[in-house]
Amino acid sequence: MFKKSVLLFFILAMGLFASFEEGKKTFENKCASCHRQFISIKDLKVNFFEKNNELYKLTAPTVNMIAFDIMDGSKRIGDKEDPEMQQIEIEEYLIDYLSTPNNGNSISDEYVFEFFDKKASMKDELSEEEYINLSIFFMKYSKNYEASNLTKKEHLSSKYNETKLIADVKNKDKLFIVYATSKTCYFCKKMDKEVLGLKSVQKQISKNYKFMKVDVDENSLPFDLNKVYKKMTPTFFIVSKEGKFLKQYPGSWSKEDFFEILKENIN
């Protein structure tokens, strides 16, 4: 009897994990074009309550903002002590809000909500199964995000020979510009195509910088930049020819603004 109970629990747990993974895929395919990936709550508070959204210029809540509001915010949905019923309530909320999004049925902080663009209806764009998986994704987001990132941090290492890089840059009298990116980052792909892919931008970079593109899901940032990194992609770091951190620019930039970034760091 005990073995059967354990087996049943294992099957249910595996099913829930699979749904989380399917929910993650749904979010990436249907939601990630508007909603950015993780930004720490600490940095989000600075962005909204000290910088009036000028730091990240968010037009929609990040994935972890949504998960927090659903599970732990002042308007949180359901009771964690009854996860089955909570999942149903979250699913119903998502169907209602995504069909007719407005301030009245949003669970976001009212002050923060004012910074976001008006969301278009997604009525009939998601199947019932996708809503179920999306609700489980948000329910399990915090636990799975923390576990995933702990595992990644334990195995990530820098692939760069910093001593050689510094010697090469000193000889050419250039600075480093380190680009923190991710394969799942929509705004990174947008910037790659609209800004960094332009020959005029590449030419301007090569004049004064050694450009380094780092996928932060696969590699640790060089020059101890993880100590100052705000865990947002894209982020651009300016590093001296001695390998010392100078400045960082989190967020996506237009061609004109990116040119200004390149210019203002050249003495």
- pLDDT tens track for 62-112: 999 999 999 988 889 999 899 989 999 999 999 999 999 987 889 988 899
149: how many CB neighbours lie within 10 A of its CB?
14
- Provide the domain limits for residue 84: 2-154
Query: What was the pLDDT predicted at 127?
Result: 93
CA 55, chain centre distance (Å): 14
Q: Which one of 154, 184, 202 terminates a domain? A: 154
Which strands, in side-by-side order, build the sheet including 235-239? Answer: 209-215, 175-181, 235-239, 245-250
- Residues 6 or more apart whose Cβ sits within 8 Å of residue 190: 252
Reported as a pLDDT band with limits 50, 70 and 90, residue 13 is very low
- Residues 6 or more apart whose Cβ sits within 8 Å of residue 200: 255
The answer on 145 and 179 residing in a single domain is: no
**CA 206 vs CA 78, 147, 175, 210, 221: distances in Å:** 54, 39, 10, 7, 20
For the cut 60, the answer to whether the pLDDT of residue 154 exceeds it is no
- Residues 6 or more apart whose Cβ sits within 8 Å of residue 189: none
Reported as a pLDDT band with limits 50, 70 and 90, residue 12 is very low
Q: Which one of 154, 176, 204 terminates a domain? A: 154
The answer on 64 and 125 residing in a single domain is: yes
22-59 burial: b if 16+ Cβ within 10 Å, else e = bbbebbeebbbeebbbbbeeebbeebbeeeebebbebe
The answer on 22 and 48 residing in a single domain is: yes
Least confident among 95-104, 142-151, 224-233: 142-151
Give the chain's domain count: 2
| β-sheet bridge partners, residue 75 | none
The answer on 13 and 143 residing in a single domain is: yes
**CA 19 vs CA 14, 15, 22, 94, 189: distances in Å:** 9, 6, 5, 16, 27
CA 237, chain centre distance (Å): 17
The answer on 44 and 136 residing in a single domain is: yes
Summary count for the chain: helices (H), strands (E): 10, 4
Average pLDDT over every residue of 242-265? 92
| β-sheet bridge partners, residue 235 | 180, 250
Q: Which one of 154, 189, 212 terminates a domain? A: 154
* Three-state secondary structure call for residue 218: coil
Strands (E), 98-244: 175-181, 209-215, 235-239
The answer on 192 and 100 residing in a single domain is: no
